[in-house]
């Protein structure tokens, strides 16, 4: 049987995330600054009285601001994962976090993860735009070929969010991790560079001002042409 080989590519290297802000119409992402962002983040995360936002994350909840701030210092100031604080222009507060991780410049692969939206950011235009800004930056500025999303296979809301945001389901890696003493199977999703142009157009149409009423409620849902 004749051996098969994949297509050749002329790819040098993608960039690593920089300290620049990612600015949108409704939201703003700033590289994490503990002095500037930590208080807002703790206050808004604490609005989730049942701590549901921490259920599938490998850390949290944090009982006090002091403990939360210590975690930020020890975990969130690295180059990988590279964390952003999410600012809502509507609420004029920092109300969520997200990061790039598993950053692999030689292959042009980067993952979005450690996504944590406080109750006031969940199911909002700002939340959707945040994912668009990170995606756009990953492909257009950093020059990646592949953008990944993984989550606990039991995390149905996260899997639904990935599909809604344009990611394609790739499969489940069984028994990949142990998180908070429990087995974790990871569901994997991705977007690749050749898909980006079509996906970007979907976000562009969704984020137009004409797609929202006076109370910023969407008229048409986010959708992508096949």
- For residue 216, name the pLDDT band (cuts at 50, 70, 90): confident
Bridge partners, residue 152, by sequence: 186
- Asked if residue 74 is part of any domain, the answer here is yes
Rounded Cα distance between 134 and 115, Å, is 12
pLDDT of residue 214: 80
pLDDT digits (tens, 9 = 90+) for 27-51: 999 999 999 999 999 999 999 999 9
CA dist 191 → 42, 139, 208 (Å): 32, 10, 22
pLDDT of residue 226: 75
- Asked if residue 143 is part of any domain, the answer here is yes
Rounded Cα distance between 18 and 33, Å, is 14
Which pTM was predicted?
A: 0.95
- Asked if residue 13 is part of any domain, the answer here is no
| CATH code, domain with 152 | 3.40.630.30
pLDDT of residue 93: 97
- Asked if residue 16 is part of any domain, the answer here is no
- Asked if residue 93 is part of any domain, the answer here is yes
Mean pLDDT of the chain: 96
Rounded Cα distance between 39 and 65, Å, is 8
- Asked if residue 129 is part of any domain, the answer here is yes
pLDDT digits (tens, 9 = 90+) for 122-141: 999 999 999 999 999 999 99
- Asked if residue 17 is part of any domain, the answer here is no
More confident residue, 218 or 101: 101
- Asked if residue 104 is part of any domain, the answer here is yes
Residue 173 has which token pair? Answer: 């890696």
Please, which residues have CB within 8 angstroms of residue 65's CB and are 6 or more apart in sequence? 38, 39, 42
Q: What is the DSSP letter of 19?
A: S
With b for 16 or more beta-carbon neighbours within 10 A and e for fewer, the 156-194 pattern comes to eebbebbeebbbeeeeeeeeeeeeeeeebebbbbbbebe
pLDDT digits (tens, 9 = 90+) for 11-22: 999 999 999 999
Domain that holds residue 63: 22-211
pLDDT digits (tens, 9 = 90+) for 63-74: 999 999 999 999
Average pLDDT of the residues in 85-104: 97
pLDDT over 90 percentage in the chain: 94
Quote the number of domains for the chain: 1
């Amino acid at each position: 049987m004749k051996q098969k080989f994949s297509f050749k590519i002329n790819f040098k290297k993608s960039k690593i995330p920089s300290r620049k802000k990612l600015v949108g119409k409704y939201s703003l992402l700033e590289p994490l600054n503990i002095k500037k962002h930590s208080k807002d983040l703790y206050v808004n995360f604490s609005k989730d009285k049942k701590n549901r936002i921490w259920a599938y994350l490998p850390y949290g909840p944090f009982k006090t601001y002091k403990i939360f701030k210590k975690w930020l210092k020890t975990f969130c100031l690295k180059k990988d994962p590279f964390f952003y604080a999410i600012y809502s222009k509507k609420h004029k507060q920092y109300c969520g976090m997200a990061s790039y991780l598993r950053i692999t410049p030689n292959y042009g692969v980067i993952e979005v993860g450690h996504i944590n939206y406080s109750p006031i950011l969940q199911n909002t235009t700002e939340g959707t735009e945040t994912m668009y800004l990170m995606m756009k930056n990953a492909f257009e500025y950093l020059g990646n070929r592949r953008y990944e999303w993984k989550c606990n296979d039991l995390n149905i809301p996260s899997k639904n969010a990935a599909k809604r945001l344009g990611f394609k389901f790739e499969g489940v890696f069984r028994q990949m991790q142990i998180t908070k003493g429990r087995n974790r199977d990871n569901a994997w999703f991705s977007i690749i560079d050749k898909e980006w142009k079509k996906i970007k157009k979907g976000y562009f149409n969704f984020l137009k001002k004409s797609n929202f009423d006076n109370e910023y409620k969407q008229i048409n849902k986010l959708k992508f042409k096949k």
